[in-house]
Amino acid sequence: MDARGPGGEELGIDLAVFGSPSAKRVVLHTTGLHGIEGFAGSAIQLALLERGLPAIPDDGAIVLVHVLNPFGMAWLRRVNESNVDLNRNFLEPDEEYASPAGGYAAFDGLLNPKTPPSLDLFYAEAAWLVARHGFNQLKQTIVGGQYAFEKGLFFGGAQLEQGPALFSSWVEEQLGASDHVVAIDVHTGLGKSGVDTLLVEDEVGGPLYERLKARFGERVTPWDPDAGVAYAIRGGYPSMIPRACERARVDLVTQEFGTTIPFLVLKALREENRWHQWGDATLDHPAKARLKDTFCKPTPTWKSEIVRRGLELFDASVDLTFGEHYMCDPKRLFS
């Protein structure tokens, strides 16, 4: 990739394929689409490798993708080298990288001051906006994605970014002929601390929603601002996999682990963005450390819950893909 790390080091998207290179049934585990959120996903993958992978049938494969946005993880950012939120960047080939009218523009001044971090009235102004617009509408407008303010938060980009383009091509070439793909994309920062929500691109009662709810339980939630912790997005990663694997049935969940309350998440994003865009962007600033602690909570309980739940969902996905015969013995999990 063209982007470089803080020490000038080369960056790339590392992935490992276990099993058949021309698999018909695939478990795909991805992390770090939002750079800084990759610490949690990486911990799950490391725990998985340490524990040992389950048996893989002859026509199956398990694919682990370590950090889809290496720039963001290396620079302690949620976005990539172009300040793009990659979960807003996978638009349909004929979709325009343009914002819907209204909405985000009204909040740009509050969210993206053109100065390094300093004391201001962010909380008071944000509280006033919630009172005026309602939390769900505000959440949807602000974090749903925008394509106009390239130095702002939740910017979806002006074109398909290099990392997403490389990874989309890889998926199309390597997994395009598969029949069934079960995918988990790990994120953090939304929902109750230490608990995961499993977001699906469907509505309540839709076939994917029902299928995954039957398998994964009550934590399955649609991407809908009124149905749970999430919000509707355009250009999300979950829309790319079915496009790239046209022939396959795709069961994809975004596994979202909560860390703290939405205001604190937004404030941490805002301060890091100010430091990165309008300050020195160095990693030793409190805004960088705070962003990391906001998306990867530095407590042993939170970390162990993430790994436990991450492994649990992975095993359920293996079961869904390969059948129960291939499940790990759950007693082995925590021994």
Site residues (vs Zn ion, CB under 5 A): 34, 37, 187
Question: How big is the CA angle at 295 (ends 34 and 257), to the nearest 5 degrees?
Answer: 85
Report in angstroms how near the CB of residue 98 gets to Zn ion at its nearest.
Answer: 23
Which residues make Cβ contacts (< 8 Å) with residue 176, sequence separation at least 6?
A: 244, 245, 246, 247
Q: Which is nearer to Zn ion, 43 or 318 (CB)?
A: 43
> Among residues 34 and 309, whose Cβ is nearest to Zn ion?
34
**In angstroms, what is the minimal distance from the CB of 250 to Zn ion?**
19
Cβ 115 to Zn ion, closest distance in Å?
Answer: 26
Between residues 161 and 319, which has the closer beta carbon with respect to Zn ion?
161
Q: Which residue is nearest to Zn ion (CB)?
A: 187
Strands (E), the chain: 14-19, 25-30, 60-66, 180-193, 196-200, 220-222, 249-258
Q: Which is nearer to Zn ion, 37 or 272 (CB)?
A: 37
Report the DSSP pairing between strands 180-193 and 220-222. unpaired
Residue-by-residue DSSP string for 137-197: HHHHHHHT-BSS-TTSTTB--SS--HHHHHHHHHHHHHHTT-SEEEEEEEEEEEEEET-EE
Q: Cα separation of 86 and 108, whole Å?
A: 19
Choose between 61 and 265: whose C-beta lies nearer to Zn ion: 265
| Residue 190 C-beta: closest distance to Zn ion, Å | 7
Q: Between residues 233 and 307, which has the closer beta carbon with respect to Zn ion?
A: 233
Paired sense of beta strands 180-193 and 60-66, if any: unpaired
User: Going by DSSP bridges, is the β-strand pair 180-193/249-258 parallel, antiparallel, or unpaired?
Assistant: parallel
Assess contact for 4 and 10: CB atoms under 8 A: yes
Q: Provide the 10 A C-beta neighbour count for residue 11.
A: 21
Question: Which pair of tokens denotes residue 299?
Answer: 């407590």
Between 187 and 290, name the residue whose CB sits nearer to Zn ion.
187
Q: How far apart are CA 179 and CA 171, in angstroms?
A: 13
Residue 283 C-beta: closest distance to Zn ion, Å: 20
> Least distance to Zn ion from the beta carbon of 125, Å?
25
DSSP for residue 31: -
Task: Output the smallest distance, CB 189 to Zn ion, in A.
Answer: 6
**Closest separation between CB of residue 39 and Zn ion, Å?**
12
Q: Could you identify the residue written with the tokens 């709810």?
A: 213
Alpha carbon distance 219, 307 (integer Å)? 17
> 56 vs 183, which CB is nearer to Zn ion?
183
Distance of closest approach, residue 168 Cβ to Zn ion, in angstroms? 18
Cβ-based nearer residue to Zn ion, 34 or 139: 34
